[in-house]
A and B are shown apart, each in its own frame.
Chain A
Amino acid sequence: MSEATPPIPKWREDFPVESETDDYITRRDFMRFLLLVSGGLMVGSGSILAKSLRPPHAEAAPTPVKLCDVADMPPGTSRVFRYPDDKTPVLLIRRQNGEFLSYGQKCTHLACPVLYAPADGTTRERLVCHCHNGAFNLETGEGVSGPPRDLRPLTRVNLDVRDGSVYAVGLDRMPRA
């Protein structure tokens, strides 16, 4: 008595466990897959367009928001906070000379996180994006190398340092084109 073997599902044929049972995909199947990719890319462009059509969220409230105490951050360090809402990361930097600066952490190229890089023997203090090896000027937030060089500067967070604490007091966005 031989039992009927269940049919092999299509996904199992396409992604077999053993390499010996793998086979080459036909050009026709590959073209169908590319059509799926094409649709995904089109939807991606459409989603960005749809996002741009939504009304912008409210700007930061003028009331100061305390980020940290001065004593909590030694020179040459940085921290990440959320400002002006709970979704937007900003980078608070204390430069090696003691000055406080803050920028939005999203790279203006493809929104990768930007990190603070202290000065070493060869380079000055700067902000770096490791996704595509971009770098930003720490004083101005403008891109100085990599893809961000031709793009807008980072969004700057205005700070107020008083009574031994650091407060965020608003955003300094670049005007839209």
Chain B
Amino acid sequence: MPIGPPKFDQRPGASAAIAARLAIVATLCIVQYWLLTSTMEAYHAGERGMLLPAFLASLACFLLAIGLVITGEIAGRRLTSDSLREPEPPKDVYIPPEFRDPE
């Protein structure tokens, strides 16, 4: 049974790139969690002035996370479609008669 083409990124550094994206998105989530708890504390303390900057910072983190995930998806999809393409048969290669396909 022939082995199918790889369905994941096999380029050198691809795994590290995915891990780096994941680490950055996780860090952004931690920052957003801190922003949310700080926002809630400020709201209960009546400090309304910092609510808008905190929301904008959280929005920026979310947009950055979206960008990282989308670029990862695009890169993975492009590579998968490339790797799934049928390889071209080699040319000018001598095949011994015993290995040739029967006519």
The dominant DSSP class at the B interface is helix
Nearest B residue to A108, CB-CB: B44
- Which DSSP category, helix, strand, loop or mixed, fits chain A's interface? helix
The total of interchain contacts (Cβ-Cβ below 8 angstroms) comes to 104
A38 and B65 contact, Cβ closer than 8 Å, known pairs A31-B21, A45-B54, A177-B45: yes
Residue B69 interfacial (CB < 8 Å):
yes
A131 interface residue per 8 A CB criterion:
no
Is B28 in contact with A38, judged by CB distance below 8 angstroms? yes
Question: Contact at B52–A39, with CB atoms within 8 Å?
Answer: no
Contact with A along B16-56 (1 / 0, CB 8 A): 00110110011011001101110111011111110110110
Is the C-beta of B61 less than 8 angstroms from some C-beta in chain A?
yes
Residue A35 CB within 8 A of the other chain = yes
Interface 1/0 per residue, A34-57 and B, CB below 8 Å? 110111011011101101100000
Establish whether residues B32 and A45, one from each chain, have CB atoms under 8 Å apart when the complex forms: yes
For B59, the chain A residues whose CB sits under 8 A away are: 42, 45-46
Bound-state CA distance A152–B47 (Å) is 10
Q: How many of chain B's residues touch chain A, expressed as a range?
A: 35 or more
Task: From the candidates B55, B58, B66, name the one contacting A35 in the complex (CB within 8 A).
Answer: B66
Interface residues of A in 98-137 (CB under 8 A from B): 106, 108-111
| Nearest B residue to A175, CB-CB | B46
Q: Distance in Å from the Cβ of A46 to the closest Cβ of chain B? A: 5
A82 interfacial contact with B, CB 8 Å: no
Q: Which residues of A contact B (CB under 8 A)?
A: 27-28, 30-32, 34-35, 37-39, 41-42, 44-46, 48-49, 51-52, 106, 108-111, 147, 151-152, 174-177
Residues of B within 8 A of A (CB): 18-19, 21-22, 25-26, 28-29, 32-33, 35-37, 39-41, 43-49, 51-52, 54-55, 58-59, 61-62, 65-66, 68-69, 72-73, 76
